[in-house]
Amino acid sequence: MKKARHVVVWLITLAFIFAARTHAALIVDFDQDSYALAQGQNFDVQVHLDADDATPGMQPLPEQLFSFGFKMNFDSTKVSVESVEVVPELDFFLFGPGAQISVDAGVASVKGNVALGTSDYIGTLLATLTLTDLAPEPYSLTLADNKSSPTDDVFVDGANTTRDDEITFGSSAVHVVPEASTAGPAGLAILSLLRHLPVKGPPKRPPIG
């Protein structure tokens, strides 16, 4: 009897370990690990909610999405934010149209939700930010939560469950490369390497509107 009980306990323990290892992790992340561009260039970064970062590509929430929010931190001496475009389905805030967007020195903040009474969002893309490079040296873009208070519910799914505690936030590096005519062999090799870095999300879609 004792042996059978030990076997049951062992099986339950294995089940918990397996569930912990296979649980899908939620991450708010950029579409690329790294961006390679010419100095002074305008470029777009897309921010996605990936419901399973262990699976290649961006996976939507099975429960769909009601609301979201994030901040992007950046060095304002090296890059500027020209515009923030939220996907149309999430381009509302509380009861009215237009997501809550603000851009200050070093941080761009976004919050939005679906229009009340409409279907929840089934995609992964949250917003596209258009940036302008200001410096020749590399720098980072870092995502973070956008809570106005510790009790603020930001990421709420279609089942009315708050997912904030499950979410981690990603970052991406920006590398400025010389023009091909002035790069030299070493610069061209770096440019070739950066262009072949993995892309996290699906191909970029054209601007909306």
The CATH number of residue 178's host domain is 2.60.40.680
Residue 129 domain-assigned (yes or no): yes
Residue 204 domain-assigned (yes or no): no
Cβ–Cβ under 8 Å, residues 172 and 28: no
What does the pLDDT average to over 90-103? 96
pLDDT of 209: 34
Residue 168 domain-assigned (yes or no): yes
Residue 14 domain-assigned (yes or no): no
pLDDT of 189: 56
Q: Is 40 left (phi over 0), alpha (psi -120 to 50) or beta?
A: left
Residue 207 domain-assigned (yes or no): no
Distance CA 39, CA 182 (A): 13
What's the whole-number average pLDDT of the chain? 83
- Counted domains in the chain: 1
The single-letter DSSP state of residue 88 is G
Share of residues in the chain with pLDDT > 70 (%): 74
Distance CA 37, CA 56 (A): 25
Give the predicted TM-score (pTM) of the model.
Answer: 0.76
Q: Could you list the residue range(s) of the whole structural domain that residue 173 is in?
A: 26-195
What does the pLDDT average to over 112-141? 97
